Amino acid sequence: MLEKPVNVLFLCTHNSARSILAEAILNHIGRGRFKAYSAGSNPRKNQQPNPMALETLEAAGISADSLRSKSWDEFAMADAPPMDLVITVCDDAASKVCPFWPGQPATAHWGYADPSAIVGNDAQKMEAFRQTLYQIKRRLDLLINLPTASIDRLMLEHSARELAKS
């Protein structure tokens, strides 16, 4: 058993959908081995989590109570929790120059289509959020089941990058 949880930061552009879903899912299934956070490279002023993301989490039995949209600058501060792994979940955030992360965390990119960009009726939009939740959860289930030996910095980065292929 690890002495402290593995801190994972999920990044997206606005921190309203994909990164919010990933944060909530990992905190729900992480079994104390993982502590998830999320942030955006460019959240809008007064950005809030997408209501459909929150509804999707609640329908899946995952708490959305403490979720809020925030800038990635929060996690580059000296008093921020040190990250062990930073995962971008949208291509736009992956292409940005990231801040310096204290502790030089492992990094990976897990690209997902933006469910909030779906054009259609509410049922079609909700289905896009459900599918994104399932895709993220599938990878996170694999991540949380990595053997403890795979969770040192270099192995974590390699493992997280390999999971992007699954």
Return the active site residues.
12, 90, 98
| Half-sphere exposure (Cβ direction) of 77: Cα atoms closer than 13 Å | 8
Distances (CA, A) of 117 to 31, 108, 140, 160: 32, 23, 23, 26
SS3 8: strand
Secondary structure E strands in 13-153: 34-40, 85-88, 106-109
Distant-in-sequence, close-in-space partners of 118: CB < 8 Å, separation ≥ 6: 124, 125, 128
Give the SS3 label for residue 35. Answer: strand
Distances from the Cα of 65 to the Cα of 74, 128, 132, 145, angstroms: 20, 22, 20, 26
